[in-house]
Amino acid sequence: MTQVITPAMTTTALTAQALTKIVQDATGSLTILADIDISIESGETVAIVGASGSGKSTLLGLLAGLDVPSSGTVKIFGEDLFSRDEDARAALRAAKIGFVFQSFQLLPHLTALENVLLPMELSGHVPDGRNATDAARELLGRVGLGERLSHYPKYLSGGEQQRVALARAFVGRPPILLADEPTGSLDARTGEAVIELMFELNRERGSTLVLVTHDPGVAARCGRRIELAAGRIKL
């Protein structure tokens, strides 16, 4: 049976053109990324791979607007990210992107429930017009933490903290999810469970997934790989 491709199915979620990042160090200029051109379609799963120091995390941070390039452009669903000021970039990121950090980045003075509520409170957006607390409770239950809502991060294991971080990233139903070594701080067994959960949630939500990983097994689960070497895409 021939699949019918609709325009919505082929919407470009992320593009980067001539993306370059140069920093200054003690020896002068250091090029972290050079002339990166990529295009990622809506619904794709993409792994960014490469040796340590190849620029993977820097690229992901630029795609999210968490860092500013030395030159080049990033567009999110056609909207130019770096033509905006910092506040406007943050607003676009809040509306379109969920981010999962290797180090979890949970706020220690907030409970699991409050950490998941935070992005909705900051953006003022609750998916499907629902009650924010209900949405957060439901997703924490979905990741197996329905009995841990009132726990602070210091009372949660690493795997539990990363599941809170996943819930926080997914709760607003962002069309794009970026993940930077999401299992890098976890043991192998816990990491495998977290990756399975992330892919399962991503399939359910139909979002675009871009993740940085050093794990070939995780990369193999993605539909496409982008390999970096010394700050350039390896052809």
Averaged pLDDT of the chain: 89
Write the CB contacts of 235 (distance below 8 Å, at least 6 apart in sequence).
Answer: none
Look at residue 147 in the predicted model and tell me its pLDDT: 93
| Structure confidence at residue 129 as a pLDDT band (50, 70, 90) | low
**15-45 per-residue burial string, b: 16 or more CB within 10 A, e: under 16:** bbeebbbeeeeeeeeeebbbebebebbbbbb
CA distances, 90 to each of 84, 97, 119, 156 (Å) = 9, 10, 11, 29
Tens of pLDDT, residues 191-228: 888 888 889 888 888 899 999 999 999 999 999 999 99
Tens of pLDDT, residues 136-150: 999 899 888 999 999
In this structure, what token pair is assigned to residue 217? 């097994």
CA distance 194 to 143: 9
| Structure confidence at residue 55 as a pLDDT band (50, 70, 90) | very high
Q: Measuring CA to CA, which residue among 226, 183, 221, 225 is closest to residue 203?
A: 221
